[in-house]
Structure 1
Amino acid sequence: MKYVRFKADSEIKYGILEGEVIKLIDGNIMGDYRIMDEYYSLSEVNLLAPCQPGKIVCIGLNYLDHAKELDMDLPEEPTIFMKPATAVIGPGDVIEYPEMSNHLDYEAEIAAVIKEEAKNVTVEEVKDYILGYTCLNDITARDLQEEDGQWTRAKSFDTFAPLGPVIATEVDPNDLKIQLFKNGSLKQDSTTAQMICDMEEVVSFISQIMTLEPGDVITTGTPPGTSSTEKGDKLEVKIEGIGSLINSVG
């Protein structure tokens, strides 16, 4: 199943995407809902970010092939940071290049969407708390990250968390092809099987630190090949079984 959030008839709605058709949902995708006898063509709606997270919790170095690329030791436990909800944009939205930065990087990532409150969840329990999975592009002002010595400013600008296009419920997050294309050219090409800490380990670890709430997004690090992007570039995060998240830089 693939959940979508979209705007049609001047209203924000939720639905289930089947091919090029969206079946309208009445209710809460995090809880109870019913499928309506109302349909929309994908081409006639404006897809939005598929959820509205209260927080986005992110993992730093978490791919074996990325660690090898950087010649870095593997972390003993996940390194986490956060992005604000105000950084979220949806498919087709523009990533704004901030005036105070001269170097933006793209980072393709797979992310989990939490469906119910989670605290001190074991690895074995994690799947019961996840609604599904989506694409995220962790845009980073790399020059500011290096200047500050910590990551908050570099990761937190408005538009720095493109998210979508769907929440896919029937995929194995630990064994999916993950890619990023810049202007149609393949720049990142790996698999989530390369994650040092898998999805369940990541979510469980974070739940030991903070309470996760419905709609929160947990994103899991990026594979090798991250590099700079400029105004006018088109970036596509493509994850097997989920889809393509496309945004331009402006």
Structure 2
Amino acid sequence: MRLITFTSAESAAPRVGALVDGGDAAVDLSAAGVADTLEDLIAGGQESLAAARDAIDSGASRRPASDITLHAPLSHPPKNVMCVGKNYHAHAQEFHSSGFDASSGKDAAALPEHPVVFTKAHTSIVGPGVPIDTGLDPTRSTDYEGELAVVIGRGGRGIRQADCWSHVFGYTIVNDVTARITQQTHRQWFLGKSIDTFCPMGPTLVTAEEVPDVRELTLTTTVNGEPRQQARVADLVFDIPTLIEVISRSIRLEPGDIIATGTPAGVGIGFQPPRYLRPGDSVAITIEPIGTLENPVT
């Protein structure tokens, strides 16, 4: 299923739905009584998923997708969005060489020995089409980072790698937008990555059964139509089972938690000079079957 959060002319309150018919139509799962929010649907586990499938199969509560507005699938996850830095081989070297990596010493290796985990404030989350507001970055060093995000279904602590897939509900796309100079100045990443509007997410949340092998997914990022990033998820330094195991060792993961798995090479600071986002730009990140997350820049 390609699950969505949406509003329409009839309802300003966000509702849960599913895109069907190749994305041309949407089923209103809230009207069908499945769940009021995607967070609730995830917490409902297999029972809620079965109810969603039944609603889709019944053909009820269906409308043209052109009649709705998509929002971030999850706007209020249980925790901040958990993110992983330097987790694609080429990007780790790109970031290490950029002069902006204040997280390690000058002589440290480009590839981390262990996952570099940080968070973005959930208040930075916005949906498809919502502008990335560079006016909130006083350093004018706003950069893009296209990422595959894992959404946790069944929670737990001390999850073993061998069991991790039973804890994955599905996948979405995150743009880990970053104020680079703020990130460098404070020698940590939270402030530079948690600015309001700096976490576009969506357009859908694809359930895990729709992705037989997540490693085969390809991420592509364009800025104003120009290709900037392209990589397979198989290129991750630390794969998804490793990330879930490491994070859950002492932190209980909860249904709806989000783990952004890292960005490939091709970010703005990888160019000489850096190519930061400017008002009038548009960033589009595509991972099929999730879709394309596109946001204008103001």
TM-score with structure 1 length normalisation? 0.95
2:128 alignment counterpart: 91
Structure 1: state its 5+ residue gaps: none
2:116 alignment counterpart: 79
Aligned pairs for 1:218-229 (under 5 A) are 218-227=259-268, 228-229=276-277
Structure 1 residue 29, shift from structure 2 partner = 2.2
1:196 alignment counterpart: 237
Matching residue within 84, 93, 105 for 1:59: 84
Aligned pairs for 1:23-34 (under 5 A) are 23-25=27-29, 26-27=34-35, 28-30=40-42, 31=44, 32-33=47-48, 34=51
* Structure with greater proportional strand content: 1
For residues 146-176 of structure 1, the C-alpha deviation after alignment (integer angstroms, 9 at most, x for no partner) is 1111111101111111000111121132221
Structure 2 distance, partners of 1:15, 1:99, is 34
For residues 88-136 of structure 1, the C-alpha deviation after alignment (integer angstroms, 9 at most, x for no partner) is 0001111111142210110000001112322111111111111100100
For residues 2-54 of structure 1, the C-alpha deviation after alignment (integer angstroms, 9 at most, x for no partner) is 11111122232111211211122222421233244111211110101111313
Structure 1 runs, 4 residues or longer, greater than 3 Å off: 68-72
Aligned partner of residue 118 in structure 2, secondary structure = strand
Matching residue within 66, 69, 88 for 1:43: 66
Q: CA RMSD in A?
A: 1.5
Matching residue within 164, 178, 186 for 1:148: 186
1:216 alignment counterpart: 257
Matching residue within 282, 288, 297 for 1:234: 282
Structure 1 residue 240, shift from structure 2 partner = 2.6
2:100 alignment counterpart: none
Aligned partner of residue 92 in structure 2, secondary structure = helix
Q: Percent identity?
A: 35
* Structure with greater proportional helix content: 2
2:196 alignment counterpart: 158
Structure 2: state its 5+ residue gaps: 98-108, 269-275
Structure 2 distance, partners of 1:99, 1:113, is 28
Structure 2 distance, partners of 1:222, 1:99, is 21
- Aligned residue pairs, count: 250
Structure 1 residue 68, shift from structure 2 partner = 4.0
Rg larger in 1 or in 2?
2
Instruction: Kindly indicate whether the alpha-carbon contact (under 8 Å) linking 1:174 and 1:199 is maintained by their aligned counterparts in 2.
Output: no
